[in-house]
Amino acid sequence: MIDTIAAFDGRLAKVEGAERSGKTQALVARCAHLIQNGEAPASILVAVTNAFAAQAFRKRLRRALPANLIGAALSVRVCTALDAAVSVLDQPAAREATGRVPRILNSAEYNFFLEDLKTIGEHPRKLRSMLGFLDRKMAGYEPREEWNAGTAADNLLAYATRILKLRGAMLAGEAPMLAADFLKSDAGEGARGSFAYVLADDFQNFSHAEQTVLCLLADKQIMVTGNPNQMMSKRGNHPYIEGFLKFEAVRRDVEVFHLQGAFGNPQVIALADALCTEGDMDSAYIAGSATPIERAAGAEGLPQGVQSIKWNTPEDELNGLTKYLRKLMDGQEDAREALTCVVVPNRRWAVMVEKMLRRRGFNVSAAGAAGTLAGDPRDSTRSRALVAYTKLGLLADPTDMIAWRSWCGFDNALTNSDAWMGLQDFAEAEGLTLYQALQQVGNAGFGAKEPFLRARTLAEKWRSGQDFLEKNATRRGFGLMKAIGAEGISEFEAVAADMVGDETAKSLLELEQAAISDPVWTEDPHVVHICLPQNLCGTEYDNMFVVGCIDGFFPQRNAFEVISTDGERNRVMDSERRDFMGGVAKAKHLLVLSHFSKAELELAERTKMQVVRVKSENGKRMAIVRPSCFLSEAGDAAPTTMGGQALLAEYGLN
């Protein structure tokens, strides 16, 4: 079947199949076939769900091609649909037609934008709900005249667009819609169909607007793969599942390929299959049978299949499980630690697991659970990463108004939104760009009369920013990291580890932007990966250890919360089950589902475990928790649970 797909040269194709059935492999094969038949790599676009999936696809493509074509493999564009939309909007014709700069706000920059929106006087909750509404409409690619947004939301949209335009910024939710509109317009004629071949993996994960962009970019062929049970519905991405399900129904002459079975460990596939019969899962997408994959040479002795291990407390679990992992790795001749992934329920667990693994002598990357630029900008000592990032942004481009907006907002309870709004009005009234206006205000020695309310505050910020720029404009590499105060900050660790030492501010900013918004794994084969389940899309591992496999973590507590409605609870449960099923199926040989039975109440509450009851133990209040309900849902496909201490004893580890 894969060979037929690889050679398929019709206009439209859809490839569907169960988890691990070879959908991505089919696209890799198609892409390799095109290159081997002399197609220019630049004529192929591969769209995937996130940067991890892009990295994995590139690796698979390289492997699928002979050495003399590696260069060609590297030149194929493999990116997210959002990236593809941004590239469209970055073309001069699109910038002119839209009047917008496709510089996407990251989450910290978005928070400043949100603070600024509050100046219109709406209640914050109403504001969020209207923004959510607008975001859904844009992602859903509904015609503007059918939004029926109401006056308040219309005004909000106009205001938001105005301030984004002035700032030279765009929201992630806007880009696909704007790109699709542009590609459909006369002005976009040159950009339409700019790739002969568009291959879209996990098409069910893209929003309607993103799917539209991908279709408009394809000239000769679009081939999509997908599986509704693997839809990732994390907040903010609005997947349009119908776009995949009805792909052939709304178009003519679509060739549909249905892949049978799956490749991987039969026990792992059986567990994933069992979950595909629960909740809103579509049982038409069940593998049914699995073709095992051979373990690599040197690793044949390692355990295979699914293990369920029970520990007493989270501390016991981390301690015991990392010992077990150490033992398994030491038992291999040429251990490739990067083929092992520890799946964690949240950031806090990622940090704990990372610490423990390092203590056991492992090199570790937690890129799969990387945080955003955390901290409270109202107090710059509590948002050091964001301050460092802003300084880097100013050094990279001293006219970047997104960086200046952040810079002017630190250490003020309302992030100086009122003053910034005054600056915007002033710029428009004077016919100046926002940068020119800030420059003018900053350099003016106005006496008692400010050109707008609190202009003096912005003038001070401008001058301190200019001082910083003058002192540090020529710095590079590690000196630059020191100057911006990024040394020793965890958010900059990944970039610092890969630095050569002569990076300019611009190149360092690009690396840091990627690390925050689109993290990828280091290429080092001797690094254990730590990942959240939702980042496993497009990847696979020989060994996978899920820690904290309890109710409240897998699935998260909202799936049980008594205060929400049945519908809401089911929605969360279904979405968590999909992430869990899709995630654990990526274990090619060994899947360890590890859980503990009690934790200190304070930790349990803070990390939102689903507490069954509370009991007192040695003067401490302990929360009793349950193994993940997904284990019981899997029924016979779930293994018998073994005690952690018994496992350690078996390996002589206690």
Ligand X SMILES: Nc1ncnc2c1ncn2[C@@H]1O[C@H](COP(=O)(O)OP(=O)(O)OP(=O)(O)O)[C@@H](O)[C@H]1O
Binding residues for ATP: 17-24
Q: Residue 350, interface with ligand X (CB under 6 A)?
A: no
Helices 208-217, 175-184: axis angle to 10 degrees equals 40
Which 3 state secondary structure label does DSSP give 415? Answer: coil
Q: Residue 130, interface with ligand X (CB under 6 A)?
A: no
Q: Residue 187, interface with ligand X (CB under 6 A)?
A: no
Identity of the residue, 258 or 359, whose beta carbon is nearer to ligand X in the bound complex: 258
Euclidean distance between CA atoms 207 and 469, whole angstroms: 40
Using the rule CB under 6 A, give the single segment among 22-30, 211-219, 626-634, 637-645 that binds ligand X.
22-30
- Figure out which of the listed residues 21, 87, 304, 340 binds ligand X, where binding follows CB under 6 A: 21
Using the rule CB under 6 A, give the single segment among 171-179, 318-326, 546-554, 583-591 that binds ligand X.
583-591
The CB density around residue 58, as the number of other CB atoms within 10 Å, is 18
- Figure out which of the listed residues 170, 177, 421, 585 binds ligand X, where binding follows CB under 6 A: 585
- Figure out which of the listed residues 12, 24, 55, 267 binds ligand X, where binding follows CB under 6 A: 24
Minimum distance from residue 372 beta carbon to ligand X (Å) = 26
Q: Taking CB under 6 A as the rule, which mask of x and - marks residues 533-572 in contact with ligand X?
A: -------x--------------------------------
The set of residues, in sequence order, having a beta carbon less than 8 Å from that of 530 and lying 6+ positions away, is: 341, 342, 344, 350, 353, 354, 357, 364, 365, 366, 368, 369
Using the rule CB under 6 A, give the single segment among 19-27, 276-284, 486-494, 513-521 that binds ligand X.
19-27
Site for ligand X in 208-237 (CB under 6 A): 230
Euclidean distance between CA atoms 522 and 507, whole angstroms: 18
Q: Which two tokens stand for residue 358?
A: 């390092």
CA-nearest of 97, 131, 98 to 114 is 131
238: left (phi over 0), alpha (psi -120 to 50) or beta: left
CA-nearest of 410, 363, 370, 349 to 492 is 370
Q: Which two tokens stand for residue 48?
A: 């995937």
Phi, psi of 151 (to 5 degrees): -60, -45
Identity of the residue, 18 or 177, whose beta carbon is nearer to ligand X in the bound complex: 18
Q: Which two tokens stand for residue 68?
A: 């003399």
Q: Residue 345, interface with ligand X (CB under 6 A)?
A: no
Identity of the residue, 26 or 217, whose beta carbon is nearer to ligand X in the bound complex: 26
Identity of the residue, 406 or 539, whose beta carbon is nearer to ligand X in the bound complex: 539
**Alpha carbons within 13 A on the beta-carbon side of 125:** 0
CA-nearest of 27, 34, 3, 25 to 13 is 27
Site for ligand X in 247-306 (CB under 6 A): 263, 293
Q: Residue 627, interface with ligand X (CB under 6 A)?
A: no
- Figure out which of the listed residues 8, 13, 14, 17 binds ligand X, where binding follows CB under 6 A: 17
Minimum distance from residue 244 beta carbon to ligand X (Å) = 13
The set of residues, in sequence order, having a beta carbon less than 8 Å from that of 566 and lying 6+ positions away, is: none
Task: Tell me how far the alpha carbon of residue 184 is from its chain's centroid.
Answer: 28
- Strand-pair category, 620-625 with 254-259: unpaired
Q: Residue 2, interface with ligand X (CB under 6 A)?
A: yes
Minimum distance from residue 536 beta carbon to ligand X (Å) = 8
Q: Residue 173, interface with ligand X (CB under 6 A)?
A: no
Binding residues: 17-24
Using the rule CB under 6 A, give the single segment among 23-31, 119-127, 166-174, 596-604 that binds ligand X.
23-31
Using the rule CB under 6 A, give the single segment among 16-24, 190-198, 370-378, 419-427 that binds ligand X.
16-24
Minimum distance from residue 27 beta carbon to ligand X (Å) = 8
Minimum distance from residue 149 beta carbon to ligand X (Å) = 36
Q: Taking CB under 6 A as the rule, which mask of x and - marks residues 492-531 in contact with ligand X?
A: ----------------------------------------
Q: Residue 23, interface with ligand X (CB under 6 A)?
A: yes
Identity of the residue, 261 or 477, whose beta carbon is nearer to ligand X in the bound complex: 261
Site for ligand X in 25-44 (CB under 6 A): 25
Minimum distance from residue 210 beta carbon to ligand X (Å) = 18
Euclidean distance between CA atoms 374 and 366, whole angstroms: 16
Minimum distance from residue 312 beta carbon to ligand X (Å) = 34
User: Could you tell me if 274 and 637 are in contact, meaning their C-beta atoms sit under 8 angstroms apart?
Assistant: yes
The set of residues, in sequence order, having a beta carbon less than 8 Å from that of 493 and lying 6+ positions away, is: none
Minimum distance from residue 225 beta carbon to ligand X (Å) = 7
Euclidean distance between CA atoms 583 and 329, whole angstroms: 22
- Figure out which of the listed residues 20, 58, 137, 384 binds ligand X, where binding follows CB under 6 A: 20
Euclidean distance between CA atoms 204 and 53, whole angstroms: 14
Furthest C-alpha separation in the chain = 80
Identity of the residue, 274 or 458, whose beta carbon is nearer to ligand X in the bound complex: 274
Using the rule CB under 6 A, give the single segment among 13-21, 213-221, 351-359, 367-375 that binds ligand X.
13-21
Identity of the residue, 64 or 388, whose beta carbon is nearer to ligand X in the bound complex: 64
Minimum distance from residue 259 beta carbon to ligand X (Å) = 7
3-state DSSP of 267-302: HHHHHHHHHCCCCCCCCCCCCCCEECCCCCCCCCCC
Euclidean distance between CA atoms 260 and 520, whole angstroms: 31
- Chain residues in the site for ligand X (CB under 6 A): 2, 17, 19-25, 230, 263, 293, 540, 585-586, 588
